[in-house]
Amino acid sequence: MSITVVWRVRGENFDIAQFLLKHPELTPGRVWKKGERVRWKREPECDSGVNIPFCEHETLDEVMVVVRRWLTIWAKEFSALRKRGGQSELDFAIYVGVEDQFAVKICFEPRDLLRLARAGVSIAVSAYSVGAEEA
C-alpha cells in the first residue's frame, strides 16, 4: 500500500498568492482562485486555495514521522494562517484496486490527532481506484 499526503490550504478570503510568496520552499501541485470554473465541477470555486504534495510512503508509520516533524516546524505558522483566513487539511490518499495495494484501514494515534487538532489541521482520507496496469 502506498499513502500519499497532500496539504490543502484554503479559505474564502485567503490570499493564496501572498501565502506562496511568503513560503517559496513550498511547491504547489494545484492552485485555484475563488470564482474560477474547473472543467469537472459544475459550480465555480467557492474559495481560493492550494494543494501541496507533502509526502508518499508505504506505511502510515513512515508518513506520521514526516507529519510530526511538519507539525513541529510549522507550529507558529498555523495560527497565523488561520488569522489570515486560511484553513489547513491533510489529505491522506490511499490507492486501492489490486490486492497488494488494498488497505483495510488506516488508524491514527490519539496523540497525533490531538496535535493536528491543536494546530487547527483537518484530516481527510481519500481512496483512489487503480487498475492492475497502474500498480
Cα 123 from chain centroid? 8
In a domain, 19, yes or no: no
CB 89 within 8 A of CB 118: no
In a domain, 29, yes or no: no
Q: Residue 106's pLDDT is what?
A: 79
Q: Model-level pTM greater than 0.85?
A: no
Q: Residue 8's pLDDT is what?
A: 93
Q: pLDDT digit of tens for each residue in the chain (135 aa)? A: 688 999 999 999 889 999 999 999 999 999 998 888 877 667 888 889 999 998 999 888 999 999 999 999 998 888 888 888 899 999 998 877 665 655 557 788 899 999 999 999 999 988 887 765 554
In a domain, 109, yes or no: yes
In a domain, 42, yes or no: no
Q: Which domain holds residue 101?
A: 3-11+51-134
Q: Residue 71's pLDDT is what?
A: 92
Q: Is 60 left (phi over 0), alpha (psi -120 to 50) or beta?
A: alpha
Q: Residue 102's pLDDT is what?
A: 59
Q: Residue 1's pLDDT is what?
A: 67
Cβ within 8 Å of residue 58, ≥6 positions away: 1, 2, 3
In a domain, 20, yes or no: no
Kindly give the pairing relationship between strand 48-57 and strand 3-11: antiparallel
The structural domain count of the chain equals: 1
Q: Residue 62's pLDDT is what?
A: 94
